[in-house]
């Protein structure tokens, strides 16, 4: 594997998707990790864009082979993060972007270790996050409160990340994201560093 992994975490409403979209022309070839599911596609959903749609039998076989970073069963359907497209993207020297929560970040670090760079993206304050969630009017009050409660828990893990982007100015936050994404490509694993040292000594 010769690519790199950049993990993005942060509360819903922090602007992660917007940052990726604005930074896209400036971060080179990348693969955005999307979930795999056994549920049927809904109207308008596209394979490989919204989800990877697979059979229950295939999903369960992949579980047995250890090919999921994480997975869950919801309403008799599986959802999970498949490692096969991630490994393929890394082999193609792509930057792999994960938009996952704090627990997913911990699992990814256990699996991939030192090729991971991570960034926590957040609005400047709890009150600003609440304002954004209310303004976008995508969820009812119960869902919004659940997102706010989750944000209070996730902010406690901010020190586990390599970088923090406080997204209060989109242009500035985008520049910071581009710097971090491009620097992630330069990060070498311990194995790569060891190989370099051996070549350096013998040349």
Same domain, 23 and 69: no
CA pair distance 122, 13, nearest whole angstrom: 8
Half-sphere exposure of residue 201, counting CA atoms within 13 Å on the CB side?
6
Same domain, 181 and 122: yes
Same domain, 102 and 43: no
- pTM for the full predicted model: 0.85
Among 23-32, 147-156, 186-195, the minimum mean pLDDT is found in: 186-195
Same domain, 146 and 200: yes
**pLDDT on residue 8:** 96
3-state secondary structure of 54: coil
**Domain count for the chain:** 2
Same domain, 4 and 21: yes
Q: What is the pLDDT of residues 95-126, one digit of tens each?
A: 999 998 898 899 889 888 888 999 999 999 99
Using pLDDT thresholds of 50, 70 and 90, give the confidence band for residue 38: very high
Q: Edge to edge, what strands does the sheet with 52-53 contain?
A: 52-53, 36-37, 77-82, 68-74
**pLDDT on residue 82:** 92
**pLDDT on residue 2:** 66
**CATH number reported for the structural domain that contains residue 130 in this entry:** 3.40.50.300
Q: Alpha helix locations (H) across the chain?
A: 16-23, 56-64, 84-91, 102-112, 126-136, 141-154, 170-184, 190-202
Same domain, 73 and 162: no
Q: What is the pLDDT of residues 126-147, one digit of tens each?
A: 999 999 999 887 778 898 999 9
Same domain, 103 and 85: no
Which candidate, 198, 90, 86, 109, places its Cα nearest to that of 162? 109
Structure tokens at 137: 């009017």
Q: Which residue range(s) make up the domain with 7?
A: 1-29+94-203
**pLDDT on residue 74:** 83
Same domain, 83 and 99: no
| Burial class (CB within 10 angstroms; exposed 0-12, middle 13-18, buried 19+) of 25 | exposed
Same domain, 115 and 181: yes
**CATH number reported for the structural domain that contains residue 57 in this entry:** 3.30.63.10
Same domain, 43 and 12: no
- If one compares 174 and 143, the residue with the highest pLDDT of the two is 174
Same domain, 187 and 202: yes
Half-sphere exposure of residue 146, counting CA atoms within 13 Å on the CB side?
5
Residue at a domain's end among 92, 109, 140 = 92
Same domain, 103 and 56: no
Which candidate, 111, 81, 113, places its Cα nearest to that of 97? 81
Using pLDDT thresholds of 50, 70 and 90, give the confidence band for residue 3: confident
């Amino acid at each position: 594997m010769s690519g790199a992994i950049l993990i993005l975490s942060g509360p819903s409403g922090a602007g992660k998707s917007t940052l990726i979209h604005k930074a896209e022309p400036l971060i080179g070839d990348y693969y955005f990790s999307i979930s795999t599911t056994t549920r049927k596609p809904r109207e308008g959903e596209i394979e490989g864009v919204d989800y990877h749609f697979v059979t229950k039998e295939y999903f369960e076989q992949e579980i047995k082979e250890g090919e999921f970073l994480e997975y869950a069963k919801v309403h008799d359907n599986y959802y999970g993060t498949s490692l096969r497209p991630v490994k393929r993207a890394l082999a193609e020297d792509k930057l792999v972007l994960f938009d996952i929560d704090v627990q997913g970040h911990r699992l990814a670090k256990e699996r991939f270790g030192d090729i991971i760079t991570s960034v926590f993206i957040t609005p400047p304050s709890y009150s600003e996050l609440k304002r954004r969630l209310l303004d976008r009017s995508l969820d009812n009050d119960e869902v919004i409160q659940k997102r706010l409660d989750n944000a209070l828990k996730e902010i406690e893990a901010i020190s586990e990340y390599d970088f923090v982007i406080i997204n209060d100015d989109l242009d500035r936050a985008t520049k910071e994201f581009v710097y971090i994404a491009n620097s992630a490509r330069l990060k070498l694993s311990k194995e790569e560093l060891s190989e370099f040292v051996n070549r350096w000594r013998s040349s």
